[in-house]
Amino acid sequence: MDRRTEREALRLLERHRSFVRAVVVRTGGSVPGKLGATMIVRDDGSTLGTVGGAALEEEVKRRAVEAIERHRGDLLHFDLAAWKEGGLPSLCGGSVDVALEYVAPRPNLLLWGGGHVAQAVARLLPSLEFDHSVADDRPDYVRADLFPDADRHEVVAPGALFDAFSPAEFTHLLVLGYDAAKDGEVLFEAIARFPNTIGLIASAPKREHMYARLRDRGVGREALARIRSPVGLAIGAQSPAEIAVSIVAEIVRDLHPAPLRTRPAPEPAPRAKGDGGERHA
Domain boundaries in the chain?
Answer: 12-103, 108-255
Long-range contacts of 206-210 (CB under 8 A, 24+ apart): 206/180, 209/180, 210/180, 210/183, 210/184
Burial class of residue 71 in the structure, from the number of CB atoms within 10 Å of its CB (0-12 exposed, 13-18 middle, 19+ buried): middle
Task: Label residue 138 by pLDDT band (50, 70, 90).
Answer: very high
For the segment 3-62, what is each residue's pLDDT rounded down to a tens digit?
899 999 999 998 889 999 999 998 877 777 788 999 999 999 999 999 887 788 898 999
Task: Label residue 232 by pLDDT band (50, 70, 90).
Answer: very high
Q: What whole-number percentage of the chain has pLDDT above 90? A: 69
What pLDDT sits at residue 269? Answer: 54
Give the strand order in the sheet containing 197-200: 153-155, 131-136, 108-112, 172-175, 197-200, 227-228
Q: Is the pLDDT of residue 182 over 90?
A: yes
DSSP single-letter state for residue 148: T
Give the separation between CA 183 and CA 189, rounded to whole angstroms: 10
For the segment 241-270, what is each residue's pLDDT rounded down to a tens digit?
999 999 999 999 988 765 544 444 455 555
CA angle 259, 99, 260 (to 5 degrees): 10
What pLDDT sits at residue 105? Answer: 86
pTM for the whole structure: 0.75
Give the separation between CA 106 and CA 13, rounded to whole angstroms: 6
What pLDDT sits at residue 280? Answer: 37
Is the Cβ–Cβ distance between 98 and 27 less than 8 Å?
Answer: no
Q: Is the pLDDT of residue 170 over 80?
A: yes
Q: Domain 108-255: which topology?
A: Rossmann fold (3.40.50)
Is the Cβ–Cβ distance between 38 and 98 less than 8 Å?
Answer: no
Task: Please measure the distance between the N-terminal and C-terminal CA atoms of the chain and give it in whole angstroms.
Answer: 61
What pLDDT sits at residue 268? Answer: 53
For the segment 212-231, what is each residue's pLDDT rounded down to a tens digit?
999 999 999 999 999 999 99
